[in-house]
Structure 1
């Protein structure tokens, strides 16, 4: 079983660590780096999945890859990546409360600046519910949101990459 997941763990850990590092670096530059880190995640997630599946196919599976094997390796890779990213961002914000407050303030400012547009499109109830939700924002919410936005594209990319790299023995 470890032959299936060695490359997945390795590249999931690497991708998760790069995601946490990018969050910290982008936070030093921009303050609220949550949106930019999501964009970075859209780049690092498929790269990590592709390399993990490719390494598994070439070095652990004699050049063959079934769709199920690709999906399994990709799943482990993006779940490890998302878990490390979530934990790293959560811990960063726990130890750096000023950054968390800056992110929260930034999100509340964006909401208040777009109040008229939100109310006209979605109604006052939706705006009030969003305001209440943002007021109760925690460090965990930011880390968990980042993880979700690595898992959803991770599943999509895993399906595509598994189909592209699939090669069954004759």
Structure 2
């Protein structure tokens, strides 16, 4: 039964990883920075949900006679999103290492974002703290960006997996 669960999960995991990577590059091509903008979390949630849902649906309908328990949905989701995030992260790491201008673009955008939100920040923190954060942006490396993105995407996957599992579950009569 476990092998029946793994086959659709791996298929959809690879597709999800490729799709996440493609969306990353499309976003950059349209002038958006997916490493900074929060709205990409919403895209991640939707993408993970779709791929987890379709993996679960395939397993439920093709491999398990229309039955999917909650734990199976959770297992499928984890098998889908963790490798997808690893595929995405490794690809982005390689791209960032090969093209350091992407890191420079991130640093510029991060500094611009901090400057644009200066007033909000200064309501809570001091000018010295703001300047320290702006200086720390220059110290960010490609591995820092990849790890930050890795954890954000894992979080998104963990959020939507139970939702997909609940929607797909069907108890035996």
Unaligned runs of 5+ in 1: none
> TM-score when scaled to structure 1?
0.88
Aligned match of 2:81: 78
How far the C-alpha of 1:78 sits from its partner, in A, is 1.0
Cα gap change, 1:38/1:156 in structure 2, threshold over 3 Å: closer, same or farther? Answer: closer
> TM-score when scaled to structure 2?
0.87
How far the C-alpha of 1:6 sits from its partner, in A, is 1.1
- CA-based RMSD: 2.0
Alignment of 1:126-137 (within 5 A): 126-128=129-131, 130-137=133-140
Aligned match of 1:32: 33
Aligned match of 1:157: 160
Aligned match of 2:47: 44
Paired residues of 1:16 and 1:85 also in contact (CA < 8 A): yes
Number of equivalenced pairs: 170
- Greater helix fraction, Structure 1 or Structure 2: 1
Alignment of 1:53-132 (within 5 A): 53-124=56-127, 126-128=129-131, 130-132=133-135
Paired residues of 1:67 and 1:163 also in contact (CA < 8 A): yes
Aligned match of 1:16: 17
Paired residues of 2:17 and 2:85 also in contact (CA < 8 A): yes
Determine the C-alpha separation between the residues in 1 that align with 2:126 and 2:4. 53
Unaligned runs of 5+ in 2: none
Paired residues of 1:5 and 1:73 also in contact (CA < 8 A): yes
